[in-house]
Amino acid sequence: MSILYPKLLGKFDKHIKDLKKIYIAPDGFLHLVPFHTLRLPDGRYWTERQQINILQTGRDLLSPPQTNSSKLFVAVGGVDYGDMPKQPASVKGSDAPPMLNMRAAGELGTGLKYLENSLFEAKTIEELFKSNYPDAKTLVLQGNDATEAALKNLTPAPKILHLSTHGFYLETPQKKTEEWI
Task: State pTM to two decimals.
Answer: 0.47
Q: Got the DSSP string for 73-90?
A: EEEEEEE--TT--SS-TT
What is the number of domains present in the chain?
Answer: 2
Same domain, yes or no, for 40 and 77? no
DSSP code for 137: E
pLDDT score recorded for residue 140:
96
Q: CA 83 to CA 70: how far, in whole Å?
A: 32
Same domain, yes or no, for 76 and 130? yes
Q: Is the pLDDT of residue 40 over 90?
A: yes
pLDDT digits (tens, 9 = 90+) for 85-142: 555 555 455 555 554 445 555 555 556 777 889 999 999 999 999 999 999 899 999 9
Q: Within a 10 A sphere around the Cβ of 98, how many other Cβ atoms? A: 8
3-class SS of residue 108: helix
Same domain, yes or no, for 78 and 52? no
Domain housing 143: 72-84+113-163
B/e letters for 53-63, b = 16+ CB within 10 Å, e = fewer, are: eeeeeeeeeee
Q: Is residue 122 part of a domain?
A: yes
pLDDT score recorded for residue 101:
47
The rounded Cα 146 to chain-centroid distance in angstroms is: 23
pLDDT digits (tens, 9 = 90+) for 137-167: 999 999 989 888 898 899 888 989 999 987 7
pLDDT score recorded for residue 118:
92
Same domain, yes or no, for 14 and 76? no
Q: CA 110 to CA 45: how far, in whole Å?
A: 67
- Mean pLDDT of the chain, nearest integer: 81
Same domain, yes or no, for 14 and 46? yes
Q: CA 102 to CA 83: how far, in whole Å?
A: 18
DSSP code for 44: S
Helices (H), the chain: 4-9, 13-16, 46-49, 98-109, 118-132, 148-152
